[in-house]
Amino acid sequence: MCKPDYEEYPHEGFLRSLGPEEEKTSAPVISAKTERLKNPLFNKSLQTSATETNNDKASTQTTESAPVRSSSMLIPVTEVARSDLVLDVSNGASEYIDGAVHINYMEFYNENKELKSVDEIAALLGNAGISPSDRVVLTGTDYNCPTCLGGPFGATFVYWLMLYIGHDESKLKLLDGDTEDWKAAGLPVQSTPYVRPATTYTVQRIRSELLATNDYVKNADVQIVDSRTFDAFGQGSIPGALNIPYDKVTENGRLKDEAELESVFAGLTKDKPVVVYANTEFKASMVWFALRMMGYDARIYTWNDWLKNLPAVRMRLNSTLTRAEPNPASPGPVKIYAVFELPEEGAENISETADENLTTLSVMGCATCEPITVWSGSLTKSKNPGLSLGKTTQYFTCTARVMDAQGGEVASVPMERVSDDEYVGTWDATNASPGRYSVSFVVTVYSLSKEFEDALTVVIQ
């Protein structure tokens, strides 16, 4: 967004008039509007505001869930009135807009990095003196997160969160700029946030259409946007997702203008809903806000939830067919073979079940067959359909780790699929010292991994 021209603006008059547009004082009526009228730089801005007001009235005739346009979602620093409640949600801020209250956006998450309950969120807002009738201007990011300084991630996240719990969107604004822009306009800041008397924030309704569920992502006719970095996207993503990293919608810490955003979203259509995800709602919210600003029906999802709902996967290594050739070997190339297999129906579970935080991977079924379906649950006749790995083999990788007698890794060997369940890789042992080497296999599906430790011994003579 283009920054306002502040050079000739009467800052002191503006500050004195920061109040409702027609607020009476002991003197004649003085308002932000009358002060701006004195300066021709803001005539055009006022005309635009009048047009926006008419558009807002017209928008009430559409459905409640119809996305709004950018003009009603952003507010320039010079348009913020005293009657507005500025909510700074930064983590690690050293100064605040004059009169701003503060809630660290991290307080909306619990210790497991999951959103708190609606009642807890409402209590946080109420304790900060915020009520559903307030017009809230949001600002802030995470100053302790180097990748977060490229935009107001905290502000877009809380915008989405407050909209989700039913705050009137006409009373929600994102500050088009940050504290530095505020100071550049000659407006005051303070070293500590303002403290308002606590009140009760009563949730009006839950706008469930703003938060996608796992079932919705898997079964609805939607477009999926992965807003994580390209590297993270390459390591695994939801099938069919389009990668639009969150830094593509911002420039110099602010959202790009509409013409640029149209180019960014050129691969999407407004005829279908869009689900945008990152690891958490926090990072996904930036792209979500830009999408909604451009008129898309957008909702947020998280990669963490996708991983949490992946079906349990179990597999075992065939110890007879898993081998190295030659073995024993002289220094030189050594081929390593890893063969996986499907446990027989009714066989005892031979590997640990994936725990809740998905730090392990357990596989049931031939994970490399073409095609193969992996089911959740136990080995019973009542299996639930799950993830078809055979159709997305790029998400299944196998790597051999070669360790010396002291436990140090001497080689990491990428394994390539050569037949149904067999992966082969070549260890260049030309410079290997004589001795015994153990080989472990690391299998990864999406971002989940399991290691088969000490699966093979190779002897170099």
pLDDT tens-digit map of 383-425: 333 333 333 344 578 899 999 999 999 999 999 988 878 999 9
Q: Is the dihedral of CA 103, 109, 115, 117 positive or negative?
A: negative
**Burial classification of residue 129, based on how many CB atoms lie within 10 Å of its CB (0-12 exposed, 13-18 middle, 19 or more buried):** middle
Q: Name 142's bridge partners.
A: 91
pLDDT tens-digit map of 142-151: 988 877 767 8
The torsion angle over the Cα atoms of residues 33, 37, 42 and 46, rounded to 10 degrees, is 50
pLDDT tens-digit map of 294-337: 999 999 999 989 888 876 556 788 999 999 999 999 999 999 99
pLDDT at 79 over 90: yes
- The confidence band for 8, taking pLDDT boundaries of 50, 70 and 90, is very low
pTM above 0.75, yes or no: no
Interior/surface letters 333-343, b for 16+ CB within 10 angstroms, e for the rest: ebebbbbbbbb
**What is the distance of C-alpha 53 from the center of its chain?**
32
Helix (H) or strand (E) holding 449: strand 448-460
Q: Which structure tokens are listed for 435?
A: 């001795």
pLDDT at 350 over 60: no
